């Protein structure tokens, strides 16, 4: 804990020099400065302790301070501090083989540093693959409204959230957007599965109308995370996968958030039987956030096209730090721990049992829907259940503020157009103890109890 003068000087330096991600500039607003972390908790420089209910930026899956991971990084740095993947090194070889095994098929993996870069590599690979497979006209990509796929211009062009793009458009040509399987706000049908299937058919129609000979890929998360935790019915992904196959369009699965156990399966697409993505992109949970790493895993039959002779037939893409030996060593240790501690099954079970108590919040008049899979929860807040008008900033802010006051950090997103940033996000570390998870549930619920608008839960809790 810092003394007051030290703290004041730190805050001034922060305000004068550090440009924070996503921040509106507000004069003299003290920012939260973290100092240390242990498990799912961190402590700020004022000595306040918080449970990180969003795992940093949905990445700190094993929590803070895992000595084995720290040792793996340090040992690797001692042994070989850096080596480029224009050649090769052992951690990258072993990690690529492990990723293939986890995906349950034959994949080749290209390493980068982040989720955005993993998606950029996927787009370039898809375009080049079609070109070298005799279909040079296939260059377009389809993604869904509300999706977030990253911050670089290609990944941002796949991102279909007006708010995020407004100041940076026009994006990269060739990116098209279609409605998501968002049955809560669907125009199509009352029945969730039917409305999701219509959303899938719209992809089919878009490919047909654009001309299948011009479409390279469809990119999607198995569950939209950054656009408000949107969970499609199982039939949706199966149908999208069939549509992609029918049109020779690559299915690119963005598992940056959902990979490595977050949803109660090793990868989110594994919730749907019979789906085999052509390309799988990963980051975040790949290293549990201990070091940066992105990965683009590509089915071997696609890679075959990059083996052909000719000056331009290899993948002309390089990232200085992509697949850094220390990051790969950390990823290998991270995966070893996830497997050893059986975390994927644990997330599946505790996501339903302990965190499942959050679903009771549906009784609250400002809760339109509680959507979840594994340790990924979204609570869509509305002013009114009938009109589904998104809840005000004030109402949403009061829940987040109350949780923070009581030692829990939760997030919000949706972030599509003004007024629709109305989904509360809860995604604690996968290794959270049962006590931690109880704390999350109780703190969120009591924040709702404190709302004036609160109705039914209070009655039941007093019984």
Residues near ligand PLP, by CB under 6 A? 57, 114-116, 119, 148-151, 221, 225-226, 254, 256-257, 283
Strands in 41-44's sheet, in edge-to-edge order, are 34-38, 41-44, 49-52, 408-409
DSSP state of 118: H
Cβ 149 to ligand PLP, closest distance in Å? 5
**Residue among 204 and 277 whose Cβ is closer to ligand PLP:** 277
Q: Find the shortest distance in angstroms from Cβ 339 to ligand PLP.
A: 23
On whether the CB atoms of residues 107 and 142 are closer than 8 A, the answer is no
For ligand PLP, which residue has the nearest CB? 115
Q: With respect to ligand PLP, which residue has the nearer C-beta, 240 or 257? A: 257
Nearest to 412 by CA among 433, 430, 431, 398: 398
CA atoms within 13 A on the CB side of 66: 26
Task: Please name the residues in contact with 392: beta carbons below 8 A apart, sequence gap of 6 or more.
Answer: 383
Minimum gap (Å) between residue 115 Cβ and ligand PLP? 2
Q: Which is closer to ligand PLP, CB of 198 or CB of 282? A: 282
Task: Tell me how far CA of residue 275 lies from CA of 174, 251, 272, 279, in angstroms.
Answer: 25, 10, 6, 12
Closest CA to 219 of 294, 278, 304, 305: 278
- Do residues 182 and 147 touch, judged by C-beta distance below 8 A? no
Q: 55 or 195, CB closer to ligand PLP?
A: 55
Per-residue DSSP letter, 254: E
Least distance to ligand PLP, CB of residue 370, Å: 20
Closer to ligand PLP by CB, 116 or 422: give it. 116
Please say which residue, 164 or 445, places its beta carbon nearer to ligand PLP: 164
CB distance 222 to 266 below 8 Å: no
| CB 121 to ligand PLP: min, Å | 12
Q: How far apart are CA 442 and CA 449, in angstroms?
A: 10
Q: Tell me whether residue 207 or residue 283 sits nearer to ligand PLP (CB atom).
A: 283
Nearest to 419 by CA among 182, 195, 228, 152: 228
Shortest distance, position 378 Cβ to ligand PLP, whole Å: 13
Q: What b-and-e string marks burial along 126-157, b requiring 16 or more CB atoms within 10 Å of the CB? A: bbbbbbbeebeebbbbbbbbbbbbbeeebbbb
**Can you read off the two tokens belonging to residue 460?**
């039941």
Output 270 or 457, the one with its CB closest to ligand PLP.
270
- Compute the least distance from the CB of residue 294 to ligand PLP, in Å: 6
Strand 107-112 and strand 49-52: the pairing is unpaired
Question: Rounded to the nearest whole angstrom, what is the least distance from the CB of residue 419 to ligand PLP in the complex?
Answer: 21
Which spans in 138-191 are helix H? 153-158, 162-165
- Sheet-wide strand order for 279-282: 107-112, 294-299, 279-282, 250-254, 215-220, 140-144, 175-178
Quote the least distance from Cβ 146 to ligand PLP, whole Å. Answer: 11
Supply the minimum distance, in Å, between the C-beta of residue 428 and ligand PLP.
17
Nearer to ligand PLP, 52 or 221 (CB): 221
> Of the two residues 122 and 355, which places its CB atom closer to ligand PLP in the complex?
122
Q: Is 340 helix (H, G, I), strand (E, B) or coil?
A: helix
Q: Which is nearer to ligand PLP, 117 or 436 (CB)?
A: 117
CB of 151 to ligand PLP, least distance (A): 6
């Amino acid at each position: 804990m810092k003394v007051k003068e030290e703290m004041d000087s730190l805050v001034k330096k922060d305000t004068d020099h550090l440009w924070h991600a996503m921040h509106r500039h507000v004069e003299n607003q003290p920012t939260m400065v973290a100092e240390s972390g242990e498990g799912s908790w961190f402590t700020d420089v004022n000595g306040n302790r918080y449970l990180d209910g969003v795992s940093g930026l949905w990445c700190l899956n094993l929590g803070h301070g895992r000595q084995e991971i720290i040792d793996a990084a340090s040992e690797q740095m001692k042994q070989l501090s850096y080596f480029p993947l224009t050649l090769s090194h052992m951690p990258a070889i072993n990690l690529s083989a492990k990723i293939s095994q986890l995906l349950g098929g034959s994949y080749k993996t290209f390493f980068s540093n982040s989720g955005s870069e993993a998606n950029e590599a996927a787009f370039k690979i898809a375009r080049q693959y079609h070109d070298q497979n005799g279909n040079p006209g296939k260059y377009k990509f389809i993604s869904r409204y509300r999706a977030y796929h990253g911050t670089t211009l290609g990944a941002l062009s796949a991102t279909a959230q007006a708010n995020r793009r407004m100041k940076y458009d026009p994006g990269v040509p060739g990116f098209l957007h279609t409605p998501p399987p968002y049955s809560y706000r669907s125009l199509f049908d009352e029945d969730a599965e039917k409305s999701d299937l219509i959303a899938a058919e719209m992809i089919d129609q878009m490919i047909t109308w654009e001309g299948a000979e011009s479409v390279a890929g469809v990119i999607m998360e198995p569950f939209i995370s950054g656009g408000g935790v949107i969970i499609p019915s199982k039939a949706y992904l199966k149908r999208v996968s069939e549509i992609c196959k029918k049109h020779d369009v690559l299915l690119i699965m963005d598992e940056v958030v959902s990979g490595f156990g977050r949803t109660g399966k090793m990868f989110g697409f594994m919730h749907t039987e019979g789906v085999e993505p052509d390309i799988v992109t990963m980051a975040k949970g790949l290293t549990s956030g201990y070091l940066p790493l992105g990965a683009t895993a590509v089915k071997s039959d696609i890679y075959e096209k990059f083996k052909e002779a000719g000056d331009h037939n290899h993948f002309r893409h390089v990232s200085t730090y992509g697949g850094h030996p220390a990051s790969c060593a950390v990823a290998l240790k991270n995966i070893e721990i996830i497997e050893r501690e059986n975390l994927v099954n644990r997330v599946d079970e505790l996501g339903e049992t302990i965190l499942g108590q959050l679903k009771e919040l549906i009784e609250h008049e400002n809760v339109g829907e509680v959507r979840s899979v594994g340790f990924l929860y979204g609570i869509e807040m509305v002013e009114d259940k009938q009109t589904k008008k998104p809840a005000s900033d004030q109402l949403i802010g009061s829940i987040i503020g109350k949780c923070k006051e009581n030692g829990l950090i939760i997030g919000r997103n949706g972030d599509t157009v003004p007024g629709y940033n109305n989904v509360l996000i809860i995604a604690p570390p996968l290794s959270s103890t049962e006590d931690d998870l109880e704390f999350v549930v109780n703190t969120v619920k009591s924040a709702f109890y404190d709302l004036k608008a609160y109705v039914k839960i209070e009655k039941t809790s007093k019984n």
